[in-house]
Amino acid sequence: MFPGGGADMQQLLQQAQKMQQDLARAQEELAETIVEGSAGGGLVKASVTGAGELTGLVIAPAAVDPEDTETLADLVLAAVRDANESARELAQRKLGPLAEGLGGGGGLPGLPF
């Protein structure tokens, strides 16, 4: 496959190792980056890491109606989904080119996209 020897193979292995290190560094950055999502015009705000871990939830007093907890639940879900979508987009921007370089085309195991 590689006529003439191991120099090409060594270079290929070095490139793969560098890509793996770049991917690990980008994943670490994602785990430390916080993104937000909101619903109800900002009545409910959710914070997640770039890896999709929920880290915070803020509910404005105006969103709390003891007679209508279903609407509040819907707002919480919408805010978390919005934050997760932002995390997915961030992961795609940071990891997409690296994942494609590893032959994946996206969708690496353990990643939120």
Give the three-state DSSP class for 4. coil
Write the CB contacts of 57 (distance below 8 Å, at least 6 apart in sequence): 44, 45, 46, 47, 76, 79, 80
Residue 92 lies in a domain: yes
Whole-prediction pTM: 0.69
pLDDT digit string, tens, across residues 72-109: 999 999 999 999 999 999 888 888 776 665 554 444 45
Domain range enclosing 41 = 6-101
Residue scoring higher pLDDT (39 or 111): 39
- pLDDT at position 4: 53
d(CA 45, CA 15): 41
Number of structural domains the chain divides into: 1
Residue 71 lies in a domain: yes
